């Protein structure tokens, strides 16, 4: 789906393009980045290209590149996917060189507001993360989301089950 360009105080959120492949691969191929994600670290840009193309081709998602204003440098991705008629799923990621500067929170708050204003059928937004991913949980809390449940799942890359934490935000009553 075609996301509109959004602006925050420090960021431009614009449509993710195939020309962003290298910038996304560069941070995705760092083990620090994938430790709390279900898939292994991509090792070659050729392998990553098909994963990235699938992301771009997803007809059920709005996917933005998170870019620094002024420099127009891509520092991450944020996605709202429409998993059911009334529920959206949120995912975000930031290049580890830019962690802990509030960028994920700034993008998340903006995309949540955009969802309420532009997708009237969506009643709630859900996100999940590895229970050890405290930074991601903090982003959700700072964005007004509430922890609703935990669940153990199997990830091929780890021998033990992984505990996921789920967060939710409901459409504000207007
Ligand atoms: C999770 C992620 C998106 C956070 O991005 P970010 O831009 O650093 O997030 P923010 O700066 O907006 O907020 C991070 C918050 O977590 C806190 N934090 C970071 N690491 C932490 C840790 N180990 N323990 C406790 N708090 C932590 C920061 O202090 C900050 O909170 P504060 O503003 O109250 O100080 C980023 O780490 C990332 O992309 N990780 C890899 C992909 C990923 O895990 N995506 C989420 C999948 S659900």
Ordered domains of the chain (ranges, CATH) = 6-122 (3.40.630.30)
Alpha-carbon distance 18 to 35, whole Å?
Answer: 25
48 close to 28: Cβ distance less than 8 angstroms = yes
What is the per-residue pLDDT across 52-63, written as a single tens digit (0 to 9) for each? 999 999 999 999
**For range 21-38, the mean pLDDT:** 92
Tokens of 47: 């392998």
Alpha-carbon distance 51 to 69, whole Å?
Answer: 27
DSSP 138-174: HHHHHTT-EEEEEEEE--TT-SS-EEEEEEEEEPPP-
Task: Check residue 39 and give its pLDDT.
Answer: 87
Alpha-carbon distance 169 to 147, whole Å?
Answer: 9
* Ramachandran bin of 138, using left for φ above 0, alpha for ψ from -120 to 50, beta for the remaining angles: alpha
> Which of helix, strand or coil describes residue 108?
helix
List the residue whose alpha carbon is closest to atom 20 of ligand 1. 135
CA–centroid distance, 78 to ligand 1, in Å, is 14
Which of 128, 138, 150 is the best mutation target for the ligand 1 pocket, counting ligand atoms within 8 Å of the beta carbon and taking the most? 138
List the residue whose alpha carbon is closest to atom 34 of ligand 1. 138
List the residue whose alpha carbon is closest to atom 25 of ligand 1. 134
- On the question of pLDDT at 121 being above 90, the answer is yes
Tell whether ligand 1 has an atom less than 6 A from the beta carbon of residue 139.
Answer: yes
HSE value, Cβ hemisphere, 13 Å, CA-based, for 53: 6
Tell whether ligand 1 has an atom less than 6 A from the beta carbon of residue 135.
Answer: yes
CA–centroid distance, 53 to ligand 1, in Å, is 26
Tokens of 70: 């002024």
- On the question of pLDDT at 126 being above 90, the answer is yes
Alpha-carbon distance 122 to 78, whole Å?
Answer: 17
Name the band, by pLDDT with cuts 50, 70 and 90, for residue 1.
confident
Tell whether ligand 1 has an atom less than 6 A from the beta carbon of residue 90.
Answer: no
């Amino acid at each position: 789906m075609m996301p509109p360009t959004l602006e925050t105080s420090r960021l431009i959120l614009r449509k993710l393009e195939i020309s962003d492949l290298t910038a996304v691969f560069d941070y995705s191929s760092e083990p620090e980045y994938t430790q709390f994600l279900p898939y292994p670290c991509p090792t070659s840009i050729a392998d990553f290209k098909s994963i990235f193309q699938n992301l771009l081709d997803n007809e059920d998602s709005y996917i933005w590149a998170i870019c620094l204003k002024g420099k127009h440098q891509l520092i991450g991705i944020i996605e709202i996917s429409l998993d059911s008629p009334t529920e959206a799923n949120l995912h975000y990621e930031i290049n580890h060189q830019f962690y802990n500067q509030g960028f994920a929170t700034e993008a998340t708050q903006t995309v949540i507001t955009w969802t309420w204003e532009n997708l009237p059928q969506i009643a709630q937004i859900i996100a999940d993360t590895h229970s050890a991913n405290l930074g991601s949980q903090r982003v959700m809390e700072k964005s007004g989301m509430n922890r609703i449940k935990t669940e153990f799942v199997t990830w091929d890359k780890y021998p033990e089950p992984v505990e996921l934490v789920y967060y939710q935000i409901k459409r504000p009553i207007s």
